[in-house]
Amino acid sequence: MVETHVRASGAVFVENDCDLTSGGLWLVTGPNMGGKSTFLRQNALIAILAQMGSFVPASRAHIGVVDRVFSRVGAADDIGGGRSTFMVEMVETAAILNRATSRSLVILDEIGRGTATFDGLSIAWAAVEALHNSTGCRALFATHFHELTSLSKSLERVTNHTMKVREWEGEVVFLHEVAEGAADRSYGIQVARLAGLPEPVLARARQVLDLLEQRSSGGQGSSGHNIAVLDDLPLFAHQPPPPKATVNPLHDMLDQVRPDDLTPRQAIDLIYELKKTRDAARRN
């Protein structure tokens, strides 16, 4: 069991626990940028530090002997070896499943993402079952395949955990906190917006996503689902770009304010300045 701390950018430490007692296997879901990969890496590094007798950055840690630490994190191809990103992923996953023991610690990040959805989901599903039934090791398994969370019902050592987020005024806020339960969505479009994708592209993505989700909830079979959706998808029915927001000078002024840095006199002056700006905007 480890109680760890992570420093979010520009924020205080975020405390997270990780209890893999008796060969626990955590399925970690949540959005991109939510902190899944960081959580996996930090626990693997803590295990390594503990084995070498080094300082462990945790409030409290009880870690048994770990014979090996296996990781499958990141995405990169092997041009020199003629291997695609997915092939590299599968080779590394195969090495883990063939060599890990019940005393090992395994972290797997987004297994199956490099191929078709159903193929990737099937491989990830089978890998979780193998780690649980055959290897019996402690493991952290991050995934966007929310269907995997149902394995907690049939595999006794599998538990679901998610990275907490909050939505506020159309924005997604990453809390970087690990909690019990499963994520209900990936917030991919919100993350794409943070990355700077043009608004017309985001609007189109929302339109396509809504249609795909409607068709998915309609109970259509997986064999013809994608084809049916593509046949009916209005490819040229792009939504018009949203109107440009009117620039509000008050908002610009408030964006520059740092309340903790203001003296009482400066705060009073700021209030008068804001009122003056508002009155001028009303006259115009």
pLDDT at residue number 45 = 94
What's the average pLDDT block by block, 10 residues per block, for the chain (284 residues)? 54 84 91 90 94 90 92 84 88 95 94 86 95 95 92 94 84 88 85 88 89 70 44 53 62 75 82 80 70
Q: What is the pLDDT of residue 225?
A: 43
CA distances to 18, 19, 248 from 59, in Å: 12, 14, 46
The confidence score (pLDDT) of residue 222 equals 39
Q: What is the pLDDT of residue 9?
A: 52
Which residues are CB-neighbours of 158 under 8 A, at least 6 positions away?
A: 25, 26, 27, 128, 132, 151, 152
Closest CA to 20 of 154, 131, 167, 96: 131
Of 185, 148, 145, 146, which is closest to residue 167 (Cα–Cα)?
185
- The residue extents of the domains of the chain are 2-187, 198-232, 249-283
What is the C-alpha separation between 230 and 221, in angstroms, rounded? 14
pLDDT the model gives residue 60: 87
The CATH superfamily label for domain 2-187 reads: P-loop containing nucleotide triphosphate hydrolases (3.40.50.300)
Instruction: State how far the Cα of 99 lies from the Cα of 97, in Å rounded to an integer.
Output: 6
